[in-house]
């Protein structure tokens, strides 16, 4: 095996050079764990996905997700982008793709549904988060402020305290005062390292998802995500963090039955505007489903010499 093919796409975007970059290895058979990590480090995108035949033939594929430093159990934009790439192929390991793809991942089974344009071509995908909302420890406002280099007065706690939230991958989620605060946030790596030791397990890394609600649109948010401990200063679109935020906010609503659509705009400050669409369903007082969707654009394809 001298080389392996790759495809790159911009996820949560409808034009090139926006959204979040993703590299997909559509057939990763024969690659070792070390080679997968080296390839992910070489791309230096927030994630690279490696597609393998499924362990259960009823599923579409097994998908492994690597950041520049480690393998992770789940992430939003890698699933959306991988579904977009695979859904546009004539076959996936000998089977024609349908409109619903099922990916085996460390966090569980991830179901993806393709989005098609008026001509029938694959234009994006939506995913169902593999886990229900789980909440970890609350994070004090001072820690959030130091991590983001903002004032403690700019951290909002009226709706909820900053908290570790997850629908498959944990993030510290915190509301800030407004767009001006969001714009001047800047990660402090030393503060992140201290927070990592205090709030997360050894196999996890502290990442901070800041958001603010747009006053004229109550379910439209702007957000930024920082993860400097993973060699990712800022991420232009984070589906897993957006899903955790949507589930958290739905859980705080008094209505026991709820079906809401949420839009999260991210990456604006980086010049890579992204739009993440969430559909959150609450039933019997519990958040049951979190769906994360967006459009994608193909950018590059080629081969990697091994």
Q: Of 216, 225, 214, 221, which Cα lies nearest the Cα of 246?
A: 221
In this structure, what token pair is assigned to residue 238? 């984070």
In this structure, what token pair is assigned to residue 40? 């992910």
Cα–Cα dist 116/129, whole Å:
21
Q: Which residues lie across from 31 on neighbouring strands?
A: none
Could you confirm whether 180 is annotated as catalytic? Answer: no
**Greatest Cα-to-Cα distance within the chain, rounded to the nearest angstrom:** 58
Q: Are 88 and 117 in contact (CB under 8 A)?
A: no
Indicate which residue of 15, 42, 47, 194 is catalytic. 47
Q: Of 238, 168, 247, which Cα lies nearest the Cα of 208?
A: 238
Q: SS3 for 115?
A: strand
Nearest-5° Cα angle at 228, 149 to 271: 80
The catalytic site residues sit at 47
């Amino acid at each position: 095996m001298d080389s392996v093919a790759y495809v790159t796409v911009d996820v949560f975007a409808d034009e090139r050079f926006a959204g979040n970059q993703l590299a997909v290895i559509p057939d990763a058979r024969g690659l070792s764990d070390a080679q997968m990590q080296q390839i992910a480090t070489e791309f230096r995108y927030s994630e690279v996905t490696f597609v393998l035949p499924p362990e259960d033939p009823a599923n579409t594929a097994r998908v492994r997700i690597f950041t520049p430093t480690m393998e992770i159990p789940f992430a939003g934009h890698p699933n959306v982008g991988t579904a977009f790439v695979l859904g546009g192929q004539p076959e996936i390991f000998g089977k024609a793709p349908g409109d619903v793809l099922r990916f085996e991942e460390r966090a569980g089974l991830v179901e993806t549904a393709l989005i098609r344009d008026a001509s029938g071509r694959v234009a994006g995908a939506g995913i169902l988060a593999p886990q229900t909302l789980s909440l970890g420890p609350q994070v004090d406002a001072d820690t959030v402020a130091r991590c983001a280099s903002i004032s403690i007065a700019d951290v909002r706690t009226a709706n909820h305290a900053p908290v570790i939230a997850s629908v498959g991958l944990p993030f510290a989620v915190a509301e800030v005062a407004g767009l001006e605060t969001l714009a001047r946030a800047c990660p402090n790596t030393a503060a992140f390292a201290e927070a990592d030791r205090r709030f997360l397990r050894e196999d996890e890394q502290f990442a901070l998802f800041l958001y603010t609600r747009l006053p004229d649109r109550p379910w439209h948010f702007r957000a930024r995500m920082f993860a400097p401990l993973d060699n990712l200063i800022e991420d232009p679109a984070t589906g897993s963090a957006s899903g955790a935020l949507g589930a958290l906010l739905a859980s705080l609503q008094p209505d026991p039955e709820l079906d809401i659509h949420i839009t999260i705009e991210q990456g604006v400050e980086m010049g890579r505007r992204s739009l993440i669409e969430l559909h959150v369903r609450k039933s019997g007082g519990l958040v049951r489903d979190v769906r994360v969707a967006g459009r994608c654009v193909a950018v590059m394809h080629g081969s990697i010499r091994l």
